[in-house]
Amino acid sequence: EVQLVESGGDLVQPGGSLRLSCAVSGFTFSNYWMSWVRQAPGKGPEWVANMNRDGSERHYVDSVKGRFTISRDNAKNSLYLQMNSLRVEDTAVYYCVRDGNGGYLHRWGQGTLVTVSS
């Protein structure tokens, strides 16, 4: 069974940092592109970043460029999102997602809540 389990969400002050983790099982992690997608309260989903199979290619939405870093450890079947200089508008549930054919956002974790507030 494919499983993606996010962790690391927390309440953090503006300007602070947080590292999200996603532990996967049930599939060969190193064969897939992986993404982070977030959803602010009452809003639609927003794709944040993705990374190719060996970590040599990364893409980000403009609003997080220079502040967030996506990474992966294929030996540990884990995906990460390092978030620095957090802003109130980064408050959201963050989902770890396995990409599918053509790059669509195929399989989603249950999400972890990040709240940025003073």
Partner 1 sequence: DIQMTQSPFTLSASVGDRVTITCRASQSVGGSLAWFQQKPGKAPQALIYLVSNLESAVPSRFSGSGSGTEFTLTISSLQPDDFATYYCQQSHTHPKTFGQGTKVEIK
User: What is the nearest approach in angstroms of partner 1 to the Cβ of residue 117?
Assistant: 21
Q: What are phi and psi of 58, to 5 degrees?
A: -135, 150
Q: From 24-32, 66-74, 81-89, 109-117, give the range in contact with partner 1 by CB under 8 A.
A: 109-117
> Using the rule CB under 8 A, which residue among 59, 78, 84, 91 binds partner 1?
59
**How many angstroms separate the CA atoms of 83 and 104, rounded?**
24
Q: Is 59 helix (H, G, I), strand (E, B) or coil?
A: strand
Tokens of 90: 């980064």
From CA 69, how far away is CA 58, in angstroms rounded? 9
Selected binder of partner 1 within 109, 112, 114, 116 (CB under 8 A): 109
Q: Give residues with Cβ within 8 angstroms of 73, minimum separation 6.
A: 80
Is 3 or 13 the residue whose CB approaches partner 1 more closely? 3
- The least CB distance from residue 19 to partner 1, in Å, is 21
Residues that bind partner 1 (CB under 8 A): 35, 44-47, 50, 59-62, 95, 99-111
